[in-house]
Amino acid sequence: MPKTLKETFAAKLPEELLKVKELRKNHGSKVVGEITLDQVYGGARGIKSLVWEGSVLDSEEGIRYRGRTIPECRTQLPKAPGGSEPLPEGLFWLLLTGEIPSEQQVRMLSADWAARSDLPTYVVDLIDRCPQDLHPMAQLSLAVTALERDSSFAKAYARGMNKQEYWEYTFEDSMNLIAKLPSIASRIYHNVFRQGKTTPVAVEKDKDYAFNLVNQLGFGDIEDFTELMRLYVTLHTDHEGGNVSAHATHLVGSALSSPMLSLAAGFNGLSGPLHGLANQESLNWLQKAKAAVGDDLSDQAITAYIRSTLSSGQVLPGYGHSILRKTDPRYLAQREFALRHLPNDPLFKLVSQLYKIAPAVLKEQGKVKNPYPNIDAHSGVLLQHYGLKETRFYTVLFACSRALGVLAQLIIDRAYGFPIERPKSYSTEAWARMVKAKL
């Protein structure tokens, strides 16, 4: 029998802990950066202050997961039988351990998640009682928060566990959370968009995470949609540690709040329109643009429509980024999928035209640091193509993926014994004194 994920992580842990210990012992007092007052007032942009093992973002090249680019991951990670896109299970394994799992290990992980997928009745009841006009992300956050009741971490802490055990309970809670997300998400979907007239089918215990997500939503008969979801979930998992959902999960976890409460915090951050909700906003924007320009996708018509958005003081959703300064490789991976599977889709043609036109129009403003598209400018058109039309649901799918990245790091946080996070703040008056300014 090959090693399970938990065994693999546990086996590597002593060596990883030693690396950190040695690094800090020999170099702990070295200066790694300085900060300006503008950075303090500017959303901490560029301030190096976090440890995140799973992925590192380069502003020109984009994300690397444990040193591997997206094209490398697409080739190297195990696939479903007959599939061509990577299984998110493999990426979770890579993020947590730094190793590419074997096919057998990935199948074991799929089976483990499927086995943990049942929802407790109180969570089903809670979701069913939500008003249909409560945003699906708020419903998801409620359901994840409610799972706190079953947190093995919180129970063990209350009993008085040893610090050395933190990571094991965090691992168990994280695995349970990930496993339950497709059932939670699809229950919300059926309630809100099918008025509760349908319910999700049962999880197929011998199938993978993305298959079950698509199947429970009600689209299991569209094979290409399942392939898309394997890619989609893989691409949305992790984007180093400073983005809002990752940082929020990490911050709340640092107080030893359970993985349930920490993930809910991350999801609440993901729900903002400048972060994960941008996938919903982007598709809504495309539809408004289509209604405005009709069949006229000329450069002039699209330019005018973008200008009208910008001049009304709104952002162009799906464009720009706090760190990236090039087109997001996650956008490019989705574009490549679209070119292969839906090259003639009319909305994809609009997305492509926008890709050609928008950067120059954004540059006209003279303030946008990155005028190129990010992941959220492309995901919606793919979902629309396969019939998942309800844009208010899109960020829930993002969340079903982002959980994998932020929980992998949460397990590492507890395994490394990271302390409570508590940076220092000052008032404007105090900052002014520090830089010898008169107010």
Ligand X SMILES: O=C([O-])CC(=O)C(=O)O
The catalytic site residues sit at: 275, 321, 376
Q: For ligand ACO, which stretch binds (CB under 6 A), given 155-163, 220-228, 274-282, 417-425? A: 274-282
Surface-to-core class of residue 15, CB atoms within 10 Å of its CB (0-12 exposed, 13-18 middle, 19+ buried): exposed
| String of contacts with ligand X for each residue 193-232, x by CB under 6 A | ----------------------------------------
212 versus 322: smaller Cβ distance to ligand X: 322
Q: For residue 195, what are its two tokens?
A: 């008025």
Nearer to ligand ACO, 92 or 331 (CB): 331
Interface pick for ligand X out of 374, 384, 391, 409 (rule CB under 6 A): 374
Closer residue to ligand X in complex, CB, 271/322: 322
Least Å from the CB of residue 369 to ligand X? 13
* Strands 55-58 and 62-65, sheet pairing: antiparallel
CB of 376 to ligand ACO, least distance (A): 5
If one asks whether residue 191 binds ligand X (CB under 6 A), the answer comes out as: no
d(CA 82, CA 201): 23
Half-sphere exposure for 131 (CA within 13 Å, toward CB)? 3
The interface partner of residue 320, options being ligand X, ligand ACO, none and the CB cut-off 5 to 8 Å by kind, is ligand ACO
CA distance 296 to 353: 11
Q: How far is the CB of 322 from ligand X (least distance, A)?
A: 5
Q: By CB under 6 A, what part of segment 287-346 binds ligand ACO?
A: 310, 315-322
Of the candidates 237, 225, 239, the residue with the CA atom closest to the CA atom of residue 85 = 225
Contact string 233-272 vs ligand X (x = CB under 6 A): ------x---x-----------------------------
Cα angle value 149/152/154 (rounded, 5°): 70
* CA proximity to 322, closest of 44, 128, 22: 44
Q: What is the 3-state secondary structure (H, E, C) of 299-335?
A: HHHHHHHHHHHHHCCCCCCCECCCCCCCCCHHHHHHH
**Size of residue set near ligand X by CB under 6 A:** 5
Question: Rg of the chain over CA atoms, in angstroms?
Answer: 22
The answer to whether residue 368 forms part of the interface with ligand ACO (CB under 6 A) is: yes
- Please count the CA atoms within 13 angstroms of the CA of 313 that sit on its side-chain side: 0
Pick one of ligand X, ligand ACO, none as the site partner of residue 315 (Cβ within 5 to 8 A by kind): ligand ACO
Mutual angle of helices 136-146 and 259-270, in 10-degree steps = 170
Question: Nearer Cβ to ligand X, position 66 or 190?
Answer: 66
> Counting beta carbons within 10 angstroms of the beta carbon of residue 353, is it exposed (0 to 12), middle (13 to 18) or buried (19 or more)?
middle
**Residue ranges in 342-377 assigned as alpha helix (H):** 346-364
Min CB(29)–ligand ACO separation in Å: 31
Out of ligand ACO, ligand X, none, what residue 66 binds, judged by CB under 5 to 8 A for its kind, is none
Q: Is 373 helix (H, G, I), strand (E, B) or coil?
A: strand
Closest-by-Cβ residue to ligand ACO is 320
Residue closer to ligand X by CB (options 190, 239) is: 239
Q: Which of 151, 322, 384, 391 binds ligand X (CB under 6 A)?
A: 322
Look at the alpha carbons of 178, 179, 185, 188 in this order and tell me if their dihedral is positive or negative. Answer: negative
Contacts of 92 (CB under 8 A, 6+ apart): 5, 109, 178, 237, 404, 408
Per-residue contact string for residues 193-232; x = within reach of ligand ACO by CB under 6 A: ----------------------------------------
Q: Which does 316 bind (CB under 5 to 8 A by kind): ligand X, ligand ACO, none?
A: ligand ACO
Chain contacts with ligand X (rule: CB under 6 A): 239, 243, 322-323, 374
Chain contacts with ligand ACO (rule: CB under 6 A): 274-276, 278, 310, 315-322, 367-370, 374-376
